Chains A and B, each alone.
Chain A
Amino acid sequence: MATITLKRNKNSSAAKIATHHDRPFTSPMASAIVTVIAVLWTIPTFGLVVTSFRSKEDIVSNGWWSSFTHLNYTLENFRAVLFQGSSTLGNQGMIPFAINSLAITIPAVVLSVGFGLLAAYALAWVPFRFSDQVFYGLFALQGVPLQLSLLPLLTFFSSGVQIAGHTVIPPLHIVGTFAAVWFPHVMFGLPLVVYLIHNFVSSLPRDLIEAARVDGANHFEIFRRVVFPLSIPAVASIAIFQFLWIWNDLLVALVFAGGTDDVAPLTLHLANLGGSLGSAWENVAPAALFSIIIPLIVFFSLQKYFVRGLLSGSVK
């Protein structure tokens, strides 16, 4: 009898501590609030998705939530977005702009992460006199808003460098080409990329690097055989970060793509479409959905790495 009571007491107090420990807010309440917020956060995007599948007549006559009572959806809008084009979208549809986005994003990501990894290795493992100063200098450049360099960089691309009437660097003639968008992305991205990768590369065990050095490896071999293979997960997560950043950019494209449709990425084209109030939603909604589909796929399939990349910079 006594033992049973004791046991029960013990159980209940253990249970009490456990509940307390796991849930300072009672768990059902926390779950309910989070669920409500998650739903609220999703509704706007969901509205866009639903609108994309509605006919023009339906879209102008009532709200997307009304479509649930008399289901009437169509794929027609996507035909315009992908193939036919329209007076709003232009006669090419959105696919060429998606190709432009890829042509901007892929090289810019590879170059920024590639140069970033190399620089991070040098700052972490190649001893030289001003190593610290260079590190802090690069870090400080993160604090330069890209707004500050738009105009001078554009001028540099279009007219080169003149000192006292002499041409020191001739005009590069790249404005309106992909190169004019790659370079700014790489330049603006590098300080953060170097910093994030440096966080990882410098935390590799010193013994590992020393062991390779004792075996006669020089920096090129250490980088290729030891550091690069070990850095792949960290580099991948930062590459995803850069991918989303560059894919989603508007300002750099607006300034450097030279206003031609041959180079304009999806974001730029979309910003032009959506700019007029009272837009043609049967075109704009599916076009917007189309533009966010690739980053969403990247995000949902690689979320773990993305979060890791995000954390590498801010949580110690």
Chain B
Amino acid sequence: MITWSSLFDTSWPKIAQILIVLALFFGFYGIAFAAGARVRGKAQNKLALVLFLGPAIVLALTGLGIPAIQTFIESFKNADSSQWIGFANYTHAIKDPDTRLAFVNTMLWIVITPVIATSIGLALATMLNKMKREALAKSLIFMPMAISFVGGSLIWNLMYQYQEPNRPQTGLIGQIFMWLHLTPQHVLLWSPWNNFFLMAVYIWGTTGFGMVILSAAIKNIPKEIEEAAQLDGASGFRLFRTITVPMVKTTIIVVLTTAMVGTLKLFDVIHTMTGGNFKTDVLSNRMFDEIFVYLNNGRGSALAVLIFLGVLPITYYNIRSIRAERNH
């Protein structure tokens, strides 16, 4: 039982902390701006750089840049980072059956989920373009984006609840099995199909993202092009294949690669729904378990590096395309 007074007692220090941080931030920059406005000449460039750009660079380097290098080094050391062991962590990652399974599953995830989510998103975006009142449908499909994957996992845990076939089903999926005259399954334990039931959660959560972005891109296609194609007799699927898809190709790639990076880092769904058990482990969850459960820094770091290597081609591609765009 919680009383208002105890809630107040535990909450006010937290709220005070929020206010203190905000006061420090705005106070500091308030003074900095008041002082900075008086500085003239060349000095103001330097002062602006230090105060504007300095914090972001320091934070990004301490938070991402330097730790990334440290993890790379750690990955060549043993469990408590006391000895160099060469590539042993990497060979372990390849040889160890559990880690290999996490690899295979991650691959499966990367190949399947972005393609399905993007395809549904593209189909939806195309059809939304042909609809009069699209706003409500769009919001509903987009809504899971606002829900945490933890919340989404619980929502789907409820869907996947298992009961014996002779009992009334409490999970909708079990009930659907019954309606189809199939034996209900404990789908989260049902290897290897459980992987697909987990993917469903992720696809449910991310399809709206692709839909919204692709929908905006499709609306940007000049009407004349579509009209010309229609006068030439293209319609329906042919119009979609010959006009819509090529015109939004870049956006499709952006959505697809974003989804791939997201899948590679996928953690919440697995951690919440199966904890990586029942042969559903993925790299990111495995890496977390290695470091924080089995306390093996070296192995965990090696897996983190492997995740990074998976993301690397996509980062490289992105930098190249933004570079081309900036020079354009």
- Please list the residues of chain A having a beta carbon within 8 angstroms of any beta carbon in chain B: 17, 20-25, 27, 30-31, 33-35, 37-39, 41-45, 47-48, 51, 59-66, 83-85, 91-93, 95-96, 99-100, 102-103, 106-107, 110-111, 114-116, 118-119, 121-123, 126-128, 134, 136, 138-153, 156, 178, 182-184, 186-188, 190-191, 194, 218-221, 223-224, 244, 247-251, 254-255, 262, 267, 270-271, 274-275, 277, 279, 281, 284-285, 288, 291-292, 295-296, 298-300, 303, 307, 310-311, 314-316
Among A44, A224, A307, contact of B156 (Cβ-Cβ < 8 Å): A44
Please list 8 pairs of residues, one from A and one from B, whose beta carbons are closer than 8 Å in the complex, sorted by A's number: A83-B2, A107-B18, A107-B22, A145-B307, A188-B64, A267-B148, A311-B212, A315-B217
Counting CB contacts under 8 A, is B154 at the interface?
yes
Whether A118 pairs with B131 at a CB distance below 8 angstroms is no
How far does the alpha carbon of A61 sit from the alpha carbon of B153 in the complex, in Å? 22
Size of B's binding interface in residues, CB under 8 A:
133
Question: Closest CB-CB distance, B3 to chain A, in whole Å?
Answer: 9
* CB atoms of B14 and A34 under 8 A apart: no
Dominant secondary structure of chain B at its interface with chain A: helix
Write the nearest CB–CB distance from A168 to chain B, whole angstroms.
Answer: 13
- In the assembled complex, the Cα of A213 lies from the Cα of B59 at a distance in Å of 30
14 other A-B residue contacts (CB within 8 Å) besides A62-B170, A142-B318: A34-B128, A38-B136, A66-B168, A144-B308, A145-B284, A146-B265, A147-B303, A151-B70, A187-B64, A218-B36, A220-B33, A288-B155, A295-B147, A316-B325
Q: Which residue of A lies closest to B63 (CB)?
A: A187
Query: Would you call A119 and B143 a contact (CB within 8 A)?
Result: no
Task: Provide the residues of chain B in CB contact with A39, threshold 8 Å.
Answer: 140
Q: Is the CB of A147 within 8 A of B304?
A: yes
For A147, give the chain B residue with the smallest CB separation.
Answer: B304
Closest CB in chain A relative to B238 CB, distance in Å? 8
**Interface-located stretch among B39-47, B84-92, B97-105, B190-198:** B39-47
In the bound complex, residues from chain B placing their C-beta under 8 Å from that of A48 are: 154-155, 158
B21 touches A122 (CB 8 A): no
Known: A191-B60, A218-B40, A219-B45. A30 touches B146 (CB 8 A): no
Q: A270-B154, A315-B213 are in contact. Are A300 and B48 (CB under 8 A)?
A: no
Q: Which residues of A contact B292 (CB under 8 A)?
A: 254-255
Please encode chain B, from 35 to 66, with 1 for each CB lying within 8 Å of some chain A CB and 0 for all others. Answer: 01101100011001101110111011011111
**A-B Cβ contacts below 8 A, count:** 390
